[in-house]
């Protein structure tokens, strides 16, 4: 899923400083699963913003709405009667949401309430980790199901570097050295052979380096 973190409240308050009423739109996709932008978090943000405004002696009307997905025009369409009645709209979806909303409703201002961080999953309740870098050319089968592009701090294809210690990366004790894990798994499974020849440079033209990407499925295009 796409993982995100809520922006600091002060940053959101600054965005809406000139507003007397705002609509907060949540998303039932990824950000609901990672507990950052679903109906519940919309409620919490609404309350926190109202508390902040009351403290200043100013009022703030807050509308709350959560739609199926903000990355789909079909659902964006459903809020057409609401967005116009507010001074601004706050989106709690990943970075895709406020862009789809802005595109659909060019007269309204849309503010992002979250910082979109990575593609990953929950390794335990409340803790998410990055797993994919969206490079456009998957190679995890060479590395026994572990991606060195997303999970090695230097994206090494011929690791581990000299900074690997105690199974951790040189950048932080919180970060596993993925190359340590790859090497150990290969050794345990008798496949060390796989790591003995030099893996050639990767082509990044399918990644963001090749420019903004687009996916077309002819069979679906109407």
Partner 1 sequence: MRLSYPSNIKVIQVPCSGRVDILHLLKAIEDGADGVYIAGCLEGECHFLTGNLKARRRVNYVKKVLSELGIEPERVEMYNLSAGEGPRFVEIAKEMTERIQALGPSPVNLKRAA
Partner 2 sequence: MSDLKSGSNLEKVLRAGHFAFTGECGPPKGANVEHLKEKVAHLKGMVDAVNVTDNQTAVVRMSSWAASTIMLQEGVEPNFQMVCRDRNRLAMMSDILGVSAMGIRNMLCLSGDHQRFGNHPQSKNVYDIDSMQLIALAKKMRDEGTFMNDEEIDVPPRLFIGAAANPFAEPYEFRPFRLAKKAEAGADFIQTQCIYNMERFREFMKRVVDMGVHEKCYILAGVTPMKSVGMAKYMSKMVPGMDVPDELIQRLQGAGKGKVAEEGIQFALEQIQEFQEMEGVAGVHLMAIEWEHRVPEIAERAGVLPRPQV
- Distance of alpha carbon 183 from alpha carbon 103, whole angstroms: 47
Residue of 76, 19, 5 lying closest to 53 (CA atoms)? 19
CB 88 within 8 A of CB 117: no
**Contact flag: residue 198 with partner 2 (CB under 8 A):** yes
- Distance of alpha carbon 58 from alpha carbon 64, whole angstroms: 19
Q: How far is the CB of 30 from partner 2 (least distance, A)?
A: 25
From candidates 1, 28, 50, 104, binder to partner 1 by CB under 8 A: 50
Could you say which of partner 2, partner 1, none residue 155 binds, taking C-beta under 5 to 8 angstroms by partner kind?
Answer: partner 2
- Distance of alpha carbon 94 from alpha carbon 72, whole angstroms: 13
- Distance of alpha carbon 158 from alpha carbon 2, whole angstroms: 28
Q: Please name the residue that has the structure tokens 């739109």.
A: 25
- What residues have CB less than 8 Å from 167, skipping those under 6 apart? 176, 177, 180, 181
Q: How far is the CB of 174 from partner 2 (least distance, A)?
A: 12
Residue 51 or 192 having the CB closest to partner 1: 51
From candidates 1, 163, 176, 206, binder to partner 2 by CB under 8 A: 163
Could you say which of partner 2, partner 1, none residue 165 binds, taking C-beta under 5 to 8 angstroms by partner kind?
Answer: partner 2
Task: Give the CA distances from residue 221 to residues 35, 135, 215, 216, in Å, rounded to whole numbers and listed in that order.
Answer: 33, 24, 11, 8
Residue 55 or 217 having the CB closest to partner 1: 55
From candidates 44, 123, 138, 171, binder to partner 1 by CB under 8 A: 44
- Distance of alpha carbon 29 from alpha carbon 5, whole angstroms: 14
Residue 54 or 173 having the CB closest to partner 1: 54
From candidates 14, 51, 139, 158, binder to partner 1 by CB under 8 A: 51
Q: How far is the CB of 85 from partner 1 (least distance, A)?
A: 22
**Contact flag: residue 139 with partner 2 (CB under 8 A):** no
**Contact flag: residue 160 with partner 2 (CB under 8 A):** yes
**Contact flag: residue 156 with partner 2 (CB under 8 A):** yes
């Amino acid at each position: 899923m796409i993982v995100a973190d809520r922006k600091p409240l002060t940053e959101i308050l600054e965005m809406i400083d000139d507003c007397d009423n705002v609509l907060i739109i949540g998303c039932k996709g990824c950000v609901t699963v990672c507990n950052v932008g679903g109906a519940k978090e919309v409620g919490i943000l609404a309350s926190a913003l109202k508390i902040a405004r009351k403290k200043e002696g100013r009022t703030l009307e807050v509308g709350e709405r959560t739609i199926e997905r903000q990355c789909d025009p079909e659902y964006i369409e459903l809020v057409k009667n609401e967005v116009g009645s507010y001074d601004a709209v706050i989106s709690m979806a990943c970075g895709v949401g406020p862009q789809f909303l802005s595109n659909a409703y060019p007269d309204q201002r849309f503010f992002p309430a979250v910082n979109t961080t990575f593609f990953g999953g929950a390794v335990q309740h409340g803790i998410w980790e990055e797993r994919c870098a969206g490079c456009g050319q998957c190679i995890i089968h060479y590395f026994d199901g572990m991606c060195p592009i997303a999970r090695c701090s230097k994206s090494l294809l011929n690791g581990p570097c000299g900074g690997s210690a105690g199974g951790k990366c040189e950048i932080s004790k919180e970060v596993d050295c993925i190359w340590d894990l790859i090497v150990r798994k290969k050794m345990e499974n008798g496949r060390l052979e796989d790591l003995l020849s030099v893996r050639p440079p990767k082509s990044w033209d399918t990644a963001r380096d090749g420019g903004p990407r687009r996916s077309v499925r002819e069979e679906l295009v109407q």
